[in-house]
Amino acid sequence: MDKLLNKFASIAVNLYPRLIQWKKETGKKIIGCFPMYIPEEIIHASGMLPITLLGSDDELTLADQYVHPYICQLVRGNFGLSLKGELDFLDGIIFSDFCLTVQMISDIWIYHKPGGFYHQLILPKNMSASHTKRYILQQFNGLKKTLEKLSGRDISESSLKKSISIYNENRKLLHRLYQVRRANPCLFRARDMATVVAAGMLMFKEEHNMLLSELLYHASKAIPLSDGKVRLILSGYLCDMPELDVLDLLEELGAVVIDDDLYVGRRYFHTLTDESINPMEALVERFVEDVPCPTKLNQKRDWADYLSDLVKEAKADGLVSVALKYCEAHQYDFPVLDTSLSQGGVPNLMIESSHRGATGQLRTRIQAFLETLGGRDGN
């Protein structure tokens, strides 16, 4: 199983040389998608490969010359990679304007890297208004038309249905893998799960599905490992790759992550697309009904309730939520989340991180929190 997990990790970490080689060999186009909420199935149905732009950990990037310092590392990292020419292999980039920072960067990006193929999805924030679904459908149809032009291929209803089915299969496999983790949490390190999910954001889902099936086969045969550790739900990194050394730190300090609410995690695959209705409308439904998110207003989907249920279902001891530094969308929700979770009896720790690694301060705060929870054996 280790060999397989290393394969996922190498796909997630050494992504660009592999993708450039893949493009040379297949002649297929690759489209970069800003996280979150791009309906990748439409790109897949056009025969092109959608990949998620997960930024970079570079401390000083070219981006610092063009944008103010107080924007999140995800946006700074992606823009820096583009300025360095490391994203030049992409055949197009799709932005979605889910937060102010992404809204701002798309114009700056296009100004400094003119001439490429760009598409901006303008998506509503209010999920409950009477015109919301109609408006999203217009946006998705606009994207479909643009992709048909770029790929030179019509996206038929049947090809879209096929892509939706492949994506749903991917989600179901990941759900199964997460169930295995809940039952045998020490089988996977938190970094393993993050790189398994991240790899799927960077390759065709058909190939990812095959790897996942293989992984599930091996995982189902593994001997249950006893833990006696503090069982955590990890939330946060709203639209970003979690810092792997922070995940390692949680484990080093005596916790085990038994489930998560990470973007490169459960948030990415949580909601299936309805295969019984019109495929474009089904993608709209999925967008509206997806997991609660601070960038969307949905009266029916409360994030604290969702997290509280996740903690209860997984029988976790507590929850750690990590927000990226300068991520206003997430941090504005912190006080509300903290109050609601605490009132509901869910021990939680809200921390900020800036992709500068597992700092001493972070270590102290996590250690103190874990001490308040105690190990499952009372350690």
Question: Looking at 99, 256, 262, 264, which residue binds ligand SF4 (CB under 6 A)?
Answer: 99
- x/- letters, 324..363, toward ligand SF4 (CB under 6 A): x--x-xx---------------------------------
Give the nearest distance from C-beta 68 to ligand SF4 in angstroms.
Answer: 13
Are 259 and 178 contacting, i.e. CB atoms less than 8 angstroms apart?
yes
Q: In the structure encoding, which two tokens stand for residue 30, read together?
A: 């690759």
Q: Can you tell me whether residue 356 is helix, strand or coil?
A: coil
The alpha-carbon radius of gyration of the chain (Å, integer) is 20
102 contacts ligand SF4 (rule: CB under 6 A): yes
Indicate the residue among 254 and 294 with the shorter CB distance to ligand SF4. 294
- Write out the DSSP string of 139-150: HHHHHHHHHHHH
Question: Looking at 74, 201, 282, 370, which residue binds ligand SF4 (CB under 6 A)?
Answer: 74
Instruction: Tell me the window of 45-53, 69-77, 187-195, 228-236 that interacts with ligand SF4 (CB under 6 A).
Output: 69-77
Query: What sign has the CA pseudo-torsion 72, 76, 81, 82?
Result: positive
Instruction: Tell me the window of 6-14, 97-105, 145-153, 224-232 that interacts with ligand SF4 (CB under 6 A).
Output: 97-105
Indicate the residue among 217 and 332 with the shorter CB distance to ligand SF4. 332
Q: Can you tell me whether residue 14 is helix, strand or coil?
A: coil
Instruction: Tell me the window of 116-124, 235-243, 301-309, 314-322 that interacts with ligand SF4 (CB under 6 A).
Output: 235-243
- β-sheet bridge partners, residue 255: 230
* Strand-pair category, 118-121 with 255-262: unpaired
101 contacts ligand SF4 (rule: CB under 6 A): yes
Give the nearest distance from C-beta 71 to ligand SF4 in angstroms.
Answer: 7
Binding residues for ligand SF4 restricted to 114-153, rule: CB under 6 A: none
Give the nearest distance from C-beta 125 to ligand SF4 in angstroms.
Answer: 12
296 contacts ligand SF4 (rule: CB under 6 A): no
Cα gap 109→118, rounded to integer Å: 10
Indicate the residue among 121 and 327 with the shorter CB distance to ligand SF4. 327
Give the nearest distance from C-beta 304 to ligand SF4 in angstroms.
Answer: 18
Closest C-alpha to 375, from 308, 311, 317: 317
Question: Looking at 45, 67, 239, 246, which residue binds ligand SF4 (CB under 6 A)?
Answer: 239
- Write out the DSSP string of 245-265: HHHHHHHHTTEEEEEEEETTT
Indicate the residue among 67 and 329 with the shorter CB distance to ligand SF4. 329
Total of chain residues touching ligand SF4, rule CB under 6 A: 13
75 contacts ligand SF4 (rule: CB under 6 A): yes
Strand extents, DSSP E, 228-314: 230-236, 255-262
Are 292 and 298 contacting, i.e. CB atoms less than 8 angstroms apart?
yes
Task: Write down the H helix ranges in 52-131.
Answer: 73-83, 100-112
Indicate the residue among 97 and 192 with the shorter CB distance to ligand SF4. 97
Are 101 and 34 contacting, i.e. CB atoms less than 8 angstroms apart?
no
Cα gap 127→199, rounded to integer Å: 30
54 contacts ligand SF4 (rule: CB under 6 A): no
Indicate the residue among 78 and 340 with the shorter CB distance to ligand SF4. 78
Contacts of 110 (CB under 8 A, 6+ apart): 116, 118
Give the nearest distance from C-beta 324 to ligand SF4 in angstroms.
Answer: 5
Closest C-alpha to 237, from 338, 334, 352, 314: 352
Indicate the residue among 75 and 284 with the shorter CB distance to ligand SF4. 75
Backbone angles phi, psi at 241, to 5 degrees: -70, 130
261 contacts ligand SF4 (rule: CB under 6 A): no
Indicate the residue among 81 and 327 with the shorter CB distance to ligand SF4. 327
Give the nearest distance from C-beta 323 to ligand SF4 in angstroms.
Answer: 8
Are 352 and 325 contacting, i.e. CB atoms less than 8 angstroms apart?
yes
Give the nearest distance from C-beta 100 to ligand SF4 in angstroms.
Answer: 7
Contacting positions for ligand SF4 (CB under 6 A): 72, 74-75, 99, 101-102, 238-240, 324, 327, 329-330
